[in-house]
Amino acid sequence: MSVGPSASGALAGTRIRARRLDAGVAQGELARRIGVSPSYLNLIEHNRRRIGGKLLNAIARALDLEPALLSEGAGGALVARLAAAAAAQGRPGSAPEEFAGRFPDWAALVDAQARQIETLEGQVAALGDRLAHDPELSASLHQVITAATAIRSTASILAGSETLDRDWQARFHRNIHAESLRLADSSRRLAGYLEAPGGDPGGAALSPHEQVERFLETMDHHLPALEGAQPAMRPDEIASGAPGLDAAAQNVLKHQLDIYRADAAALPLDAVAQAWQDSPDPLVIAARLNQPLERVMRRLATLPAGIGPPRAGLVVCDASGAILRRRPLDGLTLPRGGAACPLWPLFEALVRPGRPLRAVARLPGAEEETGDGTGGVLCCAVATLMPTVDWTRRPGSRR
């Protein structure tokens, strides 16, 4: 006979006591029903005697419970999560096993709340990151503050005590009018953006890239009108007619569709399908068809279902890591901002321009096989150098 708590079996006593009290059965009564002395049951309930299967079954029958509820109690995973939750609150060593054993329902509630807190903290962190680094938001804020600065300074001159020349007055009035229009537009966009930071906002509240993503999702990222030797439509026609897109989003969409059209012309559907059938590897296909790897990856993410290659996700980011284009993949979350996993080959590729990377991303808890036969997602990544921008030419500059 062993004395003292050991492993999971020892805490069966704690669970027996909790269940007996829940059932309103006196210790002496339960002892009588199972044929042991009250003092012996007391030792069991305080985990000072290990309990065998026969006696455990008798207690379970006496309390009208499944024996497993007494023998197994809370799972190890639950206990581990409770321990982590206690540690996160600065209370390590709070006896999570005993708590889970004695109060399984409360333990489940604490676990659920701890998980919810973790989820919410993640969302808060992602939103905080978005506020700090989102290029759309930063640009909108800059426009608002710039317009407000110009209006404040100009209005202050007009409202000052010194008499102004009529030409200057007219000039400043024009400036205020122009800046007020800019302020109205940028503040409206900013308000819409802030009102829907993470939910399911309407089109007007989305950033241009988000509007484009939503449109492409409705098309499942494949546009038959841009396929073939003689496409039925031009990219600008599709962009200008895309429902629910504002002017900025239409510009973004047109740019993406120009790329789509170039990719489709260089890599016709049947050629890609045949190449995939011969060798289902983007790097091999790029070499065989003599096309840049990034083009092959984009093309794989715009193929229609049913021609051979499986559905492919796509992530395009800029040099800062801000994600510009996404095609989500089932089971793979693709956040836009800083909440993205830094282990993605996407980010590693940024420090090795021109060098293709291949990696298998494994998702926590993903049981289903997703491509490579090991439960992971096959990822290819490459960073390309963009043409140098001539900053001395400013499109849309007023000077």
Partner 1 sequence: MARRVLLIEDEPNIIEAVSFILSRDGWTVHTHSDGLSAVERVRAHPPDLVILDAMLPGRSGFDILQELRGDPATRTLPVMMLTARGQARDRDLAMRLGATHFMTKPFSNAEVLDRVRALANG
Considering only residues 340-399, where is the footprint of partner 1 by CB under 8 A? 391-392, 394, 398-399
Nearer to partner 1, 290 or 392 (CB): 392
CA dihedral 5, 10, 15, 17 (to 10 degrees): -60
Alpha-carbon distance of 310 to 301, in angstroms, equals: 9
Nearer to partner 1, 54 or 399 (CB): 399
Nearer to partner 1, 175 or 274 (CB): 175
SS3 state at 381: strand
Alpha-carbon distance of 48 to 31, in angstroms, equals: 16
Is residue 150 a contact point for partner 1 (CB under 8 A)? yes
Considering only residues 228-267, where is the footprint of partner 1 by CB under 8 A? none
Considering only residues 122-141, where is the footprint of partner 1 by CB under 8 A? 141
Which residues have C-beta within 8 Å of that of residue 345, sequence separation ≥ 6? 357, 358, 359, 361, 379, 380, 381
Nearer to partner 1, 179 or 227 (CB): 179
Instruction: Choose which of 61, 91, 152, 358 interacts with partner 1 (CB under 8 A).
Output: 152
Which residues have C-beta within 8 Å of that of residue 16, sequence separation ≥ 6? 44, 45, 51, 59, 63, 70
Take residue 81 and report the two structure tokens written for it.
């999560």
Size of interface with partner 1, in residues (CB under 8 A): 25
Alpha-carbon distance of 143 to 323, in angstroms, equals: 22
Cα–Cα distances in angstroms (integers) from residue 297 to residues 9, 340, 373, in the given order: 54, 20, 20
Nearest distance, CB of residue 140 and partner 1, angstroms: 11
Instruction: Choose which of 43, 95, 108, 157 interacts with partner 1 (CB under 8 A).
Output: 157
Considering only residues 162-221, where is the footprint of partner 1 by CB under 8 A? 162, 168, 171-172, 175, 178-179
- Do 315 and 325 contact (CB within 8 A), yes or no? yes
Nearer to partner 1, 146 or 274 (CB): 146
Q: Which residues bind partner 1 (CB under 8 A)?
A: 141-142, 145-146, 148-154, 156-157, 162, 168, 171-172, 175, 178-179, 391-392, 394, 398-399
